[in-house]
Amino acid sequence: MTTKSQARAAASKDATEVTRTANATALRNLPFQDTRDFDDARRGLIAGPATDAITNADGRAVFDFAAYAFEAAETAAATVHPSLWRQAQINRIAGLFQVTDRIYQLRGFDISNMTIIEGDTGLIVIDPLISTECAAAGMDLYVQHRGRKPVVAVIHTHSHGDHYGGVKGVISEDDAKAGKVKIYAPVGFMEHVISENVFAGNAMARRAQYQYGVFLPTGERGQVDLGLGKATSTGTITLIAPTDVITESHTTRTIDGVEIEFQLTPGTEAPAEMNFYFPQFRALCAAENATHNLHNLLTLRGAEVRDPKVWAGYLTEAIELFASRTDVLFASHHWPTWGTENVTTFLSDQRDMYQYLHDQTLRLINHGYTPMEIAETLTTLPPNLERRWYCRGYYGSISHNVRAVYQRYLGFYDGNPANLNPLPPVEAGKHYVAAMGGADQVLAQAREAFQRGEYRWVAQLLNHLVFANPKNQTARELLADAHEQLGYQSENGTWRGLYLTAAFELRNGLYTGPSVVTTVTPDTITAMPINLYFDYMGIRMNGEKAALLGDFVLNWNFTDLNETYALTLRNGALTYRKNVHDPKAVATITLTKATLDAISLEQTTFDKAIADGRITIDGDKSRFTQLLGLLETFNLMFNIVEP
């Protein structure tokens, strides 16, 4: 196990001649003479960050502006794709910006933006970043230059953590409960927050470490940018449940004298998402549906597959509804676009991009192409889009997006029976190594391929050897070298993070340090309604062992919510019915939601809560105890590049 300080000392290598040539070719072929994005990213700058780093209460940096000073160099290092370097330089332009009259943005304080609308009496905050520390620092900078006003509303554009996690850095939960602050979100917001960050949260958080390169040192051979933004902060993630849910598209609300037209866009960049328009400011918030890159149809950390056809359709609707009335478009990431014509072109190009990937992937699907064949065939966009910087694959990529379209329509199976039930990685690895004549022969072939610059093949070849024998240090080191060069050649920020993190773990083992965070946070747990808590209980329950317990029902009575549930264990599956008291139940558990939250947060235990009277059980207590004994905990730091 290693710490971040050790990560900084861990060996990394220079770019090979093959990588230097690949990156030099990209530099020649892309329109680097087009610098308008730099001008737009600086437009309206009022002040830069007040400090070199944002720290938490313990003094630990949760977001470090100064760490990216190396990106001031005009020319990209050979270890960074020049297009990603360009994006990194733009994303480094941070501070408080005026977008238009009464609309301000904090950019570069996290991977996402926080937008502040000045209402008649107070402030409307849109998407308060990932961490409370970053949101509070951004708000402090705003107050320093614009004066202090109360926050009267918060709007979450969608259900991803970088758009709600810092909410307690700008408002208090007490003010929300008292009705002093309204919190607006699209329909389905809480369900998808829990589904992504709790139900699959442990696995997703671990995979996000790779995607975002959170353990990598910043620098030319490490983390430079995520494409979508500079980096993810590592502070305190919070959540306050919405007080007002937008349930119908084309709803208009007036918040503190500001009229807002909402456009629901479910199934686009998030399952629950919305754009909205400010007619009095002629400004459109495009959420994360139109940003300065090709976005993900399937994020590499894992999530629901997004629908590019629906995405393109909602962008068409936004063009029809808002474009002719819009002087400025801003989003939850990157910098705004000014001018009605520019906004229309930007939205139209983004729309065409997603529609093109959808239709052309399906064309190849219907010709019988498999996912990897499609990824190798459909490698570029049409020429007009290919040379638009805001269509470059900094965060999503054509390669993994076309495979996502395949998955959406046809699933994991490519139609070849040889791939229907393949051997698992360890067993397959042992067979491949044996078939090739042993580890020495595999290494010899891998070394020759590395010298030829065939890094993808080296990675595939040595992955079998590492899974066959993870203690083979020579194989680990050469596989790390191959991943590293693939990372250096990646235009995509998340591909770079994945490759370089793989190289780091192969060389150093699993990371332990202050940046290890999980999305299953206290606020997420306490914000869960009871039905989602029981859903999560079913996920944590060992079904094989539960099936041996037989069938029974437990009644649950939550006195503070005035809610009852009948929880049924049957055939190893846990189901529930709300507002039902089953007379056949073997026991009735009476408690409060607050007590359940305290247990979930490990502030107490069921046994202690029973002993001190916060939980009472009428009936067969043993069944309740047996059920609890089947709940498993999840280890965040599981292996990825080795068994």
Q: What is the pLDDT of residues 151-170, one digit of tens each?
A: 999 999 999 999 999 999 99
CB proximity list for 24: less than 8 A, separation 6 or greater: none
- CA 16 from centre of chain: 31
Q: Distance (Å, rounded) from C-alpha 180 to C-alpha 177?
A: 8
Cβ–Cβ under 8 Å, residues 469 and 475 = yes
Instruction: Tell me the backbone φ, ψ of residue 223, rounded to 5 degrees.
Output: -80, 125
Per-residue pLDDT of 245-258, as tens digits, reads 999 999 999 999 99
Take residue 355 and report the two structure tokens written for it. 């529609």
193-197, 313-317, 355-359, 625-629: lowest mean pLDDT where?
Answer: 193-197
Rounded percentage of the chain residues whose pLDDT exceeds 90: 90
Distances (CA, A) of 160 to 156, 166, 288: 9, 12, 10
Provide the token pair at 533.
């808590």
Task: Please state the domain extents for the chain.
Answer: 16-409, 529-628
Cα torsion at 291, 295, 299, 301 (round to 10°)?
Answer: -50
C-alpha–C-alpha distance, residues 304 and 273, integer Å? 14
- Does the pLDDT at position 218 exceed 90? yes
Average per-residue pLDDT in the chain? 95
Question: Each residue of 342-375: pLDDT tens digit?
Answer: 999 999 999 999 999 999 999 999 999 999 999 9
The set of residues, in sequence order, having a beta carbon less than 8 Å from that of 419 and lying 6+ positions away, is 413
Length of the chain: 643
- pLDDT tens per residue across span 91-136: 999 999 999 999 999 999 999 999 999 999 999 999 999 999 999 9
Q: What three-state secondary structure class fits 120?
A: coil
pLDDT tens digits along 171-215: 999 999 999 999 999 999 999 998 888 888 889 889 999 999 999
Q: Which pLDDT belongs to residue 1? A: 37
- Confidence bin at 283 (pLDDT 50/70/90): very high
User: Is the model's pLDDT at 515 over the cut of 80?
Assistant: no
Phi-psi map region of 334: left, alpha, beta (phi>0 left; psi -120 to 50 alpha): left
* Residue (of 605, 604, 595) closest to 625 by Cα position: 605
One-letter amino acid identity for 529?
P
Contacts of 59 (CB under 8 A, 6+ apart): none
Please state, for a pLDDT cut of 70, what percent of the chain lies above it: 98
Between CA 438 and CA 313 the distance in angstroms is 53
What pLDDT score was predicted for residue 487?
98
- Per-residue pLDDT tens over the stretch 444-503: 999 999 999 999 999 999 999 999 999 999 999 999 999 999 999 999 999 999 999 999
Helices (H) and strands (E) in the chain, counts: 24, 21
Flag whether pLDDT at 6 surpasses 50. no
> What's the average model confidence in pLDDT over 421-440?
96
Residue 329 is predicted with a pLDDT of: 98
Task: Please give the CATH topology (third level) of the domain spanning 16-409.
Answer: Metallo-beta-lactamase; Chain A (3.60.15)
| Tens digit of each residue's pLDDT (9 = 90 or more) over 20-72 | 999 999 999 999 999 999 999 999 999 999 999 999 999 999 999 999 999 99
Q: What pLDDT score was predicted for residue 8?
A: 46
Average pLDDT over residues 137-148: 98
Spatial strand order of the sheet with 258-264 comes to 252-255, 258-264, 274-278, 283-285, 328-330, 337-338
Q: How confident is the model at residue 524, as a pLDDT?
A: 82
pTM, full prediction: 0.93
Point out the least confidently predicted range of 16-20, 97-101, 280-284, 609-613.
Answer: 609-613
Going by C-alpha positions, the residue among 54, 66, 52 that lies closest to residue 129 is 54
d(CA 133, CA 469): 43
DSSP calls for 136-198: HHHHHHHHHHH----EEEEE--BSSGGGTTTGGGTS-HHHHHTTSSEEEEETTHHHHHHIIII
> Helices marked H in 184-305 — which ranges?
189-194, 201-212
What CATH superfamily classification does 529-628 receive? Answer: SCP2 sterol-binding domain (3.30.1050.10)
